Chain A
Amino acid sequence: MNLSMRRVRNRLSTFAHSPQNWLAWIFLLVFGYLIIVPVGNMIWSTFHIQSGDARRAGGAVGDFTMFYWERVFASGQLSARLLYEPLMNTLFVSITYTIIAMIIGLSLAWLMVKTDMPFKRFTGFCAIVPYIVPSWTLALAWLTVFGNSQVGIGAAGVVETLLGRPTPNWLAYGPIPIISVLAINFFAFAYLLGAAALATVDASLEEAALIHGASNRKVIRKITMPILLPAIGSAAILTFASGLGTFGVPAFLGLPVRYNVLATSLYQSAAIGRYGEAFVFTMVLVTISASAIILNSKLIGKRKQFTTMEGKGSRQRVLKLGKWRKPVGFLVAGVMAIVTFMPIIFLVLQTFQFHLGQYSLDNFTLAYWIGERDGLRGILVDPRVRAAAVNTLWLGISVGLGTAFVGILIGYSVSRNRGRPIAKVVEQMSFIPYVIPGIAFGAIFLSMFAQPRGPIPVLYGTMTIIFIACLVNRLPFASRMGISAMMQVGRSLEESAEVHGASFPRRITRIMFPLTKRGFMGGFILSFVSTVKDINLVILLVTPQTMVLAALTFGYIELGRRQFADAIGVVIIVLVLGCTLIAQWLTKTNPLQGFGGGNS
């Protein structure tokens, strides 16, 4: 054999013996196919006539066209209705809820970290519950409390019942409720980020300045604020980006009064088969979201890209509240308890009301759980719901396992290739889905797999496409979890097994997996949770055969049968709260930090 052939043979054999290398290449290819190609394909689609649009667009299917862009961006009144109004609404809603969530979240963080307020454990627990439960259940709870009987299929909420007259429309539907619900949903996110940032300001930093004779005010201005400001800015941007593409809340609270945001416009276009427009909306949404994330990574610098500050156990200068200690503690704990438990309680109550909004014993019914109403069977006895539950569990478990498994392998190949360009590329590609809001993701996958692609058949209408979309959507989380788990284990533990001649499967199963199984379990459960509660991502991809629980609620709402939706919401709340607590206990950390929680 001559030298060059020997060289080729030896290189191949070395490559085969370097799982970190071939894994990296596999990820590169798979990410390319499941992230880059679908996005590219969707962009391409917006410039070409989609099937069914031939007459509208004046050409043949597949011809180049600016029809969709013109329609959405430059068609006067039509554009205003299609794009500009929803766009303005989206920005208005998102910016406003971000500001409110930041004010509440940061105040709470300050009270929790920087003062000696009592009942911190209880308050802290309450604060994160609205963040764990799906945001659309909060929207349902809002209707339970503030709903009125004036709009369409609406029914009286608690307030209307108590006051004896309908609540005004602006309080029941539209921007105010949407903003309020999203603020309640997201203030815990701001709180967690804020508390972590505050915890990084160690007392010694402030004391060092005090010793130099700086006044208290100067210390705050020159030391504390400069350290905190980037973190606060970053928290605001992440809060903004997380809720930007939320579909469930504006769908439940906005659509009845025709208040549209981009997510609902996108959905409506897609629902009537106008994919060209839907894809343009998707790109607008992705552009805003990506700009926010890029701005964020500029703000917090290269090193902290895509990560939020990790709170280390630091020493804090704690403000003594003195005689205000108890009152403040009671007030904060009380407010948090109300915000946390009232919506859930009312939601549960409503599932037992035969007629919506009538709070009397003779209105009590189990029809929505185990009975029947107007031909719709209770959710525990309806085969359709059971099928959706099976789909949901199947999806949650497979996405959870997939996320944890892929995460560990990404972590392995990235941490073992540290310093090489391919590690950076794999890591950064795995973060791309972070800038794509859930509903946009659904649209992108729809455009990709609604028709056969090479050897891949039409996937629309299968669980497979939902599974893949959810998995790719969870990649940033998977990769972050996997990389940090692998970094913690360090190289030498694996290398010493390698020196003993242990094969890659053996090293993974005997060494790496046992050492990372806490992280693995935590990743599995959190991913399960966010899949189960998600509505944004799946709403465009589900079909009657592949229905999941969260998306099923949307149908009940459209029929005006809120109690069924409430009951499903309650089931999901119990499931996600339980699982999150288990994950928290397993990983011994707060798994919700950073983008652990994910949102829907």
Chain B
Amino acid sequence: MSRIILEHVTKRFGDYAAVNDLSLEIESGAFFSLLGPSGCGKTTTMRLIAGLETADEGRILIDDKVVFDAADSTVVPPGKRGIGMVFQNYALWPHMTVRENILFGLAVRKIEKADQEERLRRVLSRLQISELVDRYPSELSGGQQQRIALARELVTGAKVLLMDEPLSNLDAKLRIDMRVELKQLHEETGATVIYVTHDQIEALTLSSTMAVMKLGVMQQNAAPSEVFAKPTNLFVAQFMGHTPMNILPATIQGNSMQIPGGSLPRAASSASCADGSQILIGARPEELLLGTTQDERSISVRVESILPMGYDSLVRVSVEGAELTIAADERTRTVDVGDDCFVTFDDTQLHCFDAETHERLG
């Protein structure tokens, strides 16, 4: 059991709450991702769990053991929390060889020499880095350093692994390889992984659950598919996805919604809204269809610009002062800049948000 629980944890730097009343429960064996824009408190959250920062309020449990409690000032030092941590810059000790780096944690734990060598051998061959064992970190590529940093934490058999943007310093190709590797490692070790990232694709592909943060406050904590399909508020909706979600103001009128350029059948999730109320509707660029024929779910628009992106292109259109972005299949695209055409909405997939609170409706 390596469940991690945070209860009402707050961490302030001066007056600013970098983490604000955060409550979380991370199941044993989960691959949990923390996602959010820069400065939202992801690293701070991770350092609080590791014990490298001390929270001002709340309680933290690892493996059902209290490691931090503001009420009685319990602070278990990092080394006694049974965790491993991969730093964003890897933090390999430059004056030690790969072998010395990896064995450091075992020596601290007073593991027998023979056992140390055996574990070293296993982790090296698992990560396919056996030939690097006598090199110094400065003699390694970024990807190799990354593997050593992983090996150093895996070799101790820690049941909780914290990783702060471990792939952010790698190039795009390596990043994809390492992603696959990380997923496999997670399955093999069964460790609980807490993974901080900027990159939503990473979060979506790797995690079993994920949380999105903003200005120190957690916005949503759910399975990746749910976060993507049912963003809990406007911020999460716009944060997730390749290109930000299109947002339009809408007015409920009986069974339809008035939006710039026309009206649509009322979305199912707006059921609770009174007649005449104002809401915001959201549709991802991929959920919109560009065409030359009109039906009851479409509005008339004019094409402003086209950004080709390989198979797809992003088409920007305008309607009555509002702008929409549509992902169009480049092979079947018929419209061009300056054309008048139609955008069709899928009312079953429309996201509705309260105009005031920006919370999800329905």
Chain A residues within CB distance 8 Å of chain B: 3, 6-7, 10-11, 13-14, 17, 419, 490, 492-493, 495-502, 506, 510-511, 514-515
Interfacial chain A residues near B85, Cβ < 8 Å: 495-496, 499
Interfacial chain B residues near A506, Cβ < 8 Å: 108
> Do A492 and B104 touch (CB < 8 A)?
no
> Do B91 and A493 touch (CB < 8 A)?
yes
> Do B73 and A497 touch (CB < 8 A)?
no
> Do A499 and B79 touch (CB < 8 A)?
yes
Please give me the residue from chain B that is nearest to A419 by CB atom: B13
- What are 5 A-B residue pairs whose CB atoms fall within 8 Å in the complex? A496-B93, A496-B152, A498-B79, A499-B84, A500-B104
Interfacial chain B residues near A515, Cβ < 8 Å: 93-95
* Listed residue (A14, A17, A492, A496) with the most chain B CB atoms within 10 angstroms of its CB: A496
Q: Does B80 contact A (CB under 8 A)?
A: yes
Interfacial chain A residues near B83, Cβ < 8 Å: 499
> Do A492 and B72 touch (CB < 8 A)?
no
> Do A495 and B74 touch (CB < 8 A)?
no
> Do A496 and B108 touch (CB < 8 A)?
no
Bound state CA distance, A51 and B117, in angstroms? 72
* Listed residue (A6, A500, A510, A515) with the most chain B CB atoms within 10 angstroms of its CB: A500
> Do B73 and A499 touch (CB < 8 A)?
no
Q: Does B173 contact A (CB under 8 A)?
A: no
Interfacial chain A residues near B54, Cβ < 8 Å: 14
> Do B72 and A10 touch (CB < 8 A)?
yes
> Do B93 and A10 touch (CB < 8 A)?
no
* Listed residue (B13, B84, B87) with the most chain A CB atoms within 10 angstroms of its CB: B87
Bound state CA distance, A496 and B109, in angstroms? 14
Q: Does B89 contact A (CB under 8 A)?
A: yes
Interfacial chain B residues near A501, Cβ < 8 Å: 78-80, 105, 108-109
Please give me the residue from chain B that is nearest to A500 by CB atom: B105
Top 5 A-B residue pairs of the complex, sorted by shortest distance between their CB atoms: A501-B79, A500-B105, A492-B91, A10-B73, A496-B91
Say yes or no: A493-B93 contact (C-beta < 8 A), given A7-B72, A419-B13, A498-B52: yes
Q: Per a CB cutoff under 8 Å, which of B79, B94, B152 touches A502?
A: B79
Bound state CA distance, A59 and B30, in angstroms? 83
Q: Does B75 contact A (CB under 8 A)?
A: yes
Interfacial chain A residues near B73, Cβ < 8 Å: 6-7, 10-11, 14
> Do A497 and B109 touch (CB < 8 A)?
no
Residues 58-105 of B contacting A (Cβ, < 8 Å): 71-75, 77-80, 83-85, 87, 89, 91, 93-95, 104-105
Interfacial chain A residues near B74, Cβ < 8 Å: 6, 10
Interfacial chain A residues near B50, Cβ < 8 Å: 499
Give, as a whole number of angstroms, the nearest-CB distance from B263 to chain A. Answer: 55
Bound state CA distance, A6 and B70, in angstroms? 11
> Do B52 and A495 touch (CB < 8 A)?
yes
Interfacial chain B residues near A496, Cβ < 8 Å: 85, 87, 91, 93, 152
Give, as a whole number of angstroms, the nearest-CB distance from B99 to chain A. Answer: 14
> Do B95 and A499 touch (CB < 8 A)?
no
Query: How many residues belonging to B are interface residues under a CB distance threshold of 8 Å?
Result: 28
> Do B78 and A495 touch (CB < 8 A)?
yes
Q: Does B156 contact A (CB under 8 A)?
A: yes
Q: Per a CB cutoff under 8 Å, which of A6, A492, A500, A514 touches B87?
A: A492
Interfacial chain A residues near B94, Cβ < 8 Å: 493, 515
Bound state CA distance, A496 and B80, in angstroms? 13
Bound state CA distance, A11 and B74, in angstroms? 7
Q: Per a CB cutoff under 8 Å, which of B71, B77, B109, B156 touches A3?
A: B71
Bound state CA distance, A518 and B218, in angstroms? 45
Say yes or no: A511-B93 contact (C-beta < 8 A), given A496-B85, A500-B156, A501-B80: yes
Interfacial chain A residues near B13, Cβ < 8 Å: 419
Give, as a whole number of angstroms, the nearest-CB distance from B285 to chain A. Answer: 39
Interfacial chain B residues near A498, Cβ < 8 Å: 52, 77-79
Interfacial chain A residues near B79, Cβ < 8 Å: 498-502
* Listed residue (B13, B52, B72, B84) with the most chain A CB atoms within 10 angstroms of its CB: B72
Give, as a whole number of angstroms, the nearest-CB distance from A340 to chain B. Answer: 38
Interfacial chain B residues near A7, Cβ < 8 Å: 71-73
Interfacial chain B residues near A497, Cβ < 8 Å: 93, 104, 108
Interfacial chain A residues near B105, Cβ < 8 Å: 500-501
Please give me the residue from chain A that is nearest to B79 by CB atom: A501
Please give me the residue from chain A that is nearest to B77 by CB atom: A17
Bound state CA distance, A401 and B89, in angstroms? 33
Give, as a whole number of angstroms, the nearest-CB distance from A485 to chain B. Answer: 14
Bound state CA distance, A498 and B73, in angstroms? 20
Bound state CA distance, A497 and B93, in angstroms? 9
Bound state CA distance, A74 and B79, in angstroms? 66
Interfacial chain A residues near B77, Cβ < 8 Å: 14, 17, 498
Give, as a whole number of angstroms, the nearest-CB distance from B145 to chain A. Answer: 13
Give, as a whole number of angstroms, the nearest-CB distance from A493 to chain B. Answer: 5
Bound state CA distance, A298 and B341, in angstroms? 66
Give, as a whole number of angstroms, the nearest-CB distance from A416 to chain B. Answer: 11
Bound state CA distance, A6 and B152, in angstroms? 36
Give, as a whole number of angstroms, the nearest-CB distance from B20 to chain A. Answer: 19
16 A-B pairs besides A14-B54, A497-B104, A498-B77 with CB distance below 8 A are A3-B71, A3-B72, A7-B71, A7-B73, A14-B73, A17-B77, A492-B89, A495-B78, A496-B87, A497-B93, A499-B83, A500-B109, A501-B78, A501-B105, A501-B108, A515-B94
Bound state CA distance, A7 and B74, in angstroms? 7
Interfacial chain B residues near A3, Cβ < 8 Å: 71-72
Bound state CA distance, A510 and B94, in angstroms? 12
Say yes or no: A6-B72 contact (C-beta < 8 A), given A496-B91, A499-B78, A499-B85: yes
Say yes or no: A495-B87 contact (C-beta < 8 A), given A7-B72, A500-B156: yes
Bound state CA distance, A17 and B109, in angstroms? 18
Please give me the residue from chain B that is nearest to A501 by CB atom: B79
Interfacial chain A residues near B87, Cβ < 8 Å: 492, 495-496
Interfacial chain A residues near B156, Cβ < 8 Å: 500
Bound state CA distance, A565 and B94, in angstroms? 48
Bound state CA distance, A501 and B84, in angstroms? 10
Interfacial chain A residues near B91, Cβ < 8 Å: 492-493, 495-496
Residues 190-247 of B contacting A (Cβ, < 8 Å): none
Interfacial chain B residues near A499, Cβ < 8 Å: 50, 52, 78-79, 83-85
Give, as a whole number of angstroms, the nearest-CB distance from A198 to chain B. Answer: 33
Q: Per a CB cutoff under 8 Å, which of B72, B75, B89, B108 touches A500?
A: B108
Interfacial chain B residues near A419, Cβ < 8 Å: 13
Interfacial chain B residues near A6, Cβ < 8 Å: 72-74
Give, as a whole number of angstroms, the nearest-CB distance from A355 to chain B. Answer: 59
Give, as a whole number of angstroms, the nearest-CB distance from B320 to chain A. Answer: 45
Give, as a whole number of angstroms, the nearest-CB distance from A8 to chain B. Answer: 8
* Listed residue (B71, B77, B94) with the most chain A CB atoms within 10 angstroms of its CB: B77
Interfacial chain A residues near B80, Cβ < 8 Å: 501
Bound state CA distance, A147 and B165, in angstroms? 71
Bound state CA distance, A337 and B95, in angstroms? 41
Bound state CA distance, A502 and B52, in angstroms? 13
* Listed residue (B50, B52, B156) with the most chain A CB atoms within 10 angstroms of its CB: B52
Bound state CA distance, A14 and B94, in angstroms? 29
Interfacial chain A residues near B75, Cβ < 8 Å: 10, 13-14, 17
Bound state CA distance, A498 and B105, in angstroms? 10
Bound state CA distance, A417 and B79, in angstroms? 19
Bound state CA distance, A506 and B107, in angstroms? 11
Residues 91-139 of B contacting A (Cβ, < 8 Å): 91, 93-95, 104-105, 108-109
Please give me the residue from chain A that is nearest to B106 by CB atom: A500
Please give me the residue from chain A that is nearest to B94 by CB atom: A515
Give, as a whole number of angstroms, the nearest-CB distance from B308 to chain A. Answer: 36
Contact with A along B146-158 (1 / 0, CB 8 A): 0000001000100
Interfacial chain B residues near A17, Cβ < 8 Å: 75, 77
Bound state CA distance, A293 and B98, in angstroms? 48
Give, as a whole number of angstroms, the nearest-CB distance from A5 to chain B. Answer: 9
Bound state CA distance, A499 and B108, in angstroms? 11
Interfacial chain B residues near A13, Cβ < 8 Å: 75
Interfacial chain A residues near B95, Cβ < 8 Å: 514-515
Please give me the residue from chain A that is nearest to B89 by CB atom: A492
Interfacial chain B residues near A511, Cβ < 8 Å: 93
